[in-house]
Amino acid sequence: MEDTVAHAEKHFGQFCSLLAAYTRRTARLRDKADQLVRQLFAFANTEGPGLRAAMKDFAEDLAKVQDYRQAEVERLENKVVNPLKLYGAHIKQTRAEIKKLKRAQNNEIKQLQKLEKLRQKSPSDRQMIGQAETSVQRASADASRTTRQLEAAVGTFQRQKLKDLQKIFSDFVTIEMVFHAKAVEVYSGAFQTLENYHPEQDLQDFTAKMQGLYGHHAARPLAGSDPSLPVPWLPTSQVSAWVGGLIL
Amino acid sequence: MEDTVAHAEKHFGQFCSLLAAYTRRTARLRDKADQLVRQLFAFANTEGPGLRAAMKDFAEDLAKVQDYRQAEVERLENKVVNPLKLYGAHIKQTRAEIKKLKRAQNNEIKQLQKLEKLRQKSPSDRQMIGQAETSVQRASADASRTTRQLEAAVGTFQRQKLKDLQKIFSDFVTIEMVFHAKAVEVYSGAFQTLENYHPEQDLQDFTAKMQGLYGHHAARPLAGSDPSLPVPWLPTSQVSAWVGGLIL
């Protein structure tokens, strides 16, 4: 009977520390994804309006998944790790009760053995044997009652253990399922956001900006375009501005 | 133009290391869940047939989710982290090309400035000015051509960057979405497994086993049941066996 409880204590202890570690690693994954979200926002602000909008939408979706992951972490702590911790305390209490009952039982057994020996030693003393028999019967009844109490305690413990186990792992599965379902939903939106982004406008803007910075060389007649024709001379100020533009 | 590339290098480098860390933390979460799977199997083997079957089914489902997580990790490495790494190498190459073009452009600009100065210093020397004008035009054309090359290189880079960015993050979202969808599917089955477990049979087996170990006290007439009636005496051997059973 003590084995049943000791066995449960060992396994539930291991489940508790494994699931606590699982929860912590989930929290660390969330931290890293949060960093990615911040990096995406920082990057978005340096890009053209189209990509900026797409990256911000994507970053918001990624942040939403992390919010759901945070909810997952909190629920795992409240509905899985903490009940397992409490369960550890409950097991300790049960063990103490069982020890107490065991001690009582052992005392009764010792008394039984003592009386049994006495009965065998002096089989002719009818009066003594009669007393011994009565005592054996009483001790036997006491031991039997204590055994029934022990059985009841261990039975209750076992019933509760199976129910708790079922509850805790069902909660684990439910929490995980809800998180994954939410993640699918949010990522579906994020996928659409990224698919709907078309870089053309951003590229046009980028080219325009670049030509603004480096001068619109294409609009200016170039010496190399037709070497046989006399090239109209550019005023000095214009050349300087253009050179300046190139240096900028 | 160099800023465009340097900026991309910085951000893509950060994306690469963040997503590599995200992938590593996902792998660590998988490791912890794998440990939980092993622990569930070890525990299942020590339990009654009903719980054993339920726990093994649940452990198998949890293991399946980890297989999908492993696939997620491999896909993230192949389709997200590695392309970002390769992108880093590509950026370095582009920067080297741009530097080369920049150097050429700077040389041309210097030549332009030199000739411009000469033209201003000796405005009366028609022949020298004529030569200078021709040289300025040629240098101007060269600088302009190099600028166009630079613009083309940066434009190509920017176009590729936007496309790669879209591809990499779309792949990230797809990989995550597929994993989460599979997890939902598997956990739905696990939830049913746990819901369908009813501890009654296991508890009956447990009680029977316990009574087998500790003697069927309920089937034996007890001294305490009716003290006024004479109790049939148990043979010594039977008492000893019972006492022995209690001690076991």
Position B92 pLDDT exceeds 90: no
pLDDT tens digits, one per residue of B168-199? 999 999 999 999 999 999 999 999 999 999 88
Beta carbons within 10 angstroms of residue B191's beta carbon: 19
- Inform me whether the C-beta atom of residue B169 falls under 8 Å from chain A C-beta atoms: yes
Q: What is the dihedral of CA B120, B125, B131, B134, to 10 degrees?
A: 50
Contact (CB<8Å) A15/B236: no
Best B68, B166, B167, B171 residue to mutate vs chain A (most A CBs within 10 Å)? B166
pLDDT value for B206: 82
Mean pLDDT highest for which of A150-159, B40-49, B207-216? B40-49
The whole-number pLDDT of residue A214 equals: 59
Q: Is the pLDDT of residue B123 over 80?
A: no
Decide: B51 and B199 in contact? Cβ < 8 Å. yes
Nearest by CB to residue A58, choosing from B33, B169, B197, is: B169
The average confidence (pLDDT) of chain A is: 82
Distance between CA atoms of A79 and A203, rounded to whole angstroms? 51
Taking chain B, what is the end-to-end CA distance rounded to the nearest angstrom? Answer: 86
pLDDT confidence of residue B27: 98
Alpha helices (runs of H) in B122-199, residue ranges in sequence order: 126-195
Test the B interface: residue of A4, A25, A73, A135 with most B CBs within 10 Å? A25
For residue A10, the chain B residues in CB contact (below 8 A) are none
**What percentage of chain B reaches a pLDDT higher than 90?**
43
Q: How confident is the model at residue A240 (pLDDT cuts 50, 70, 90)?
A: very low
* B78–chain A Cβ distance below 8 A for any pair: no
Residue A136 has pLDDT above 60, yes or no: yes
Residue B227 has pLDDT above 60, yes or no: no
Tell me the C-alpha distance between B31 and B69, whole Å: 10
**A3-17, A216-230, B119-133: the lowest-pLDDT one:** A216-230
| Residue B248 scores a pLDDT above 90 | no
Residues of B within 8 A of A43 (CB-CB) are 11, 15
Q: How confident is the model at residue A189 (pLDDT cuts 50, 70, 90)?
A: very high
**Is residue A221 scored above 60 in pLDDT?**
no
Q: Highest mean pLDDT: which of A119-128, A195-204, B173-182, B214-223? A: B173-182
pLDDT score, position A98 = 84
Q: What pLDDT was estimated at residue A179?
A: 98
Q: How far is the C-alpha of A175 from the C-alpha of A165, rounded, in Å?
A: 15
Put simply, the chain B residues between 36 and 65 with a CB less than 8 A from any chain A CB are 36, 39, 42-43, 46, 51, 54, 58, 65
- Reported ipTM: 0.78
E-strand ranges in chain A read: none
Q: pLDDT category, A118, cuts 50, 70, 90?
A: confident
CA gap A4, A158 in Å, rounded? 8
The CA dihedral of B113, B116, B117, B122, to the nearest 10 degrees, is 160
Better-scored residue on pLDDT, A160 or A79: A79
- The structural domains of chain A, ordered by start, are 2-198 (1.20.1270.60)
pLDDT band for B1, please (50, 70, 90 cuts): low
pLDDT at B31: 98
Q: Has residue B151 got a pLDDT over 90? A: no
Mean pLDDT of the region B144-162:
85
Cβ atoms of residues A98 and A150 within 8 Å: yes
* Structure confidence at residue B226 as a pLDDT band (50, 70, 90): very low
Burial of A22 (0-12, 13-18, 19+ CB in 10 A): buried
- How much is the pLDDT for B137? 79
Identity (one letter) of the amino acid at B146? Answer: T
Instruction: Retrieve residue A229's tokens.
Output: 């024709």
pTM, rounded to two decimals: 0.78
Collect all residues of chain A within an 8 Å Cβ-Cβ radius of residue B237: none
Which pair of tokens denotes residue B68?
């999908």
- Asked if the model's pLDDT at residue A243 lies above 80, the reply is no
What are the helix and strand counts (H, E) for chain B? 6, 0
Q: Do A133 and A119 form a contact (C-beta atoms < 8 A)?
A: yes
Measure in Å the smallest separation between the Cα of A76 and chain B Cα atoms: 14
Decide: B88 and B112 in contact? Cβ < 8 Å. no
Asked if residues B65 and B112 have their Cβ atoms less than 8 Å apart, the reply is no
Residue of A nearest to B228 (CA): A134
**pLDDT tens-digit series, residues A69-82:** 999 999 999 999 99
Given a cut of 50, is residue A175 above it in pLDDT? yes
Residue of higher predicted confidence among B227 and A95: A95
Rounded to an integer, the average pLDDT of B32-36 is: 98
In this predicted model, which residue has the larger pLDDT, B207 or B2?
Answer: B207
Task: Find the CB nearest A25 among B21, B29, B180.
Answer: B29
- Give the Cα separation of A174 and A76 in Å (integer): 10
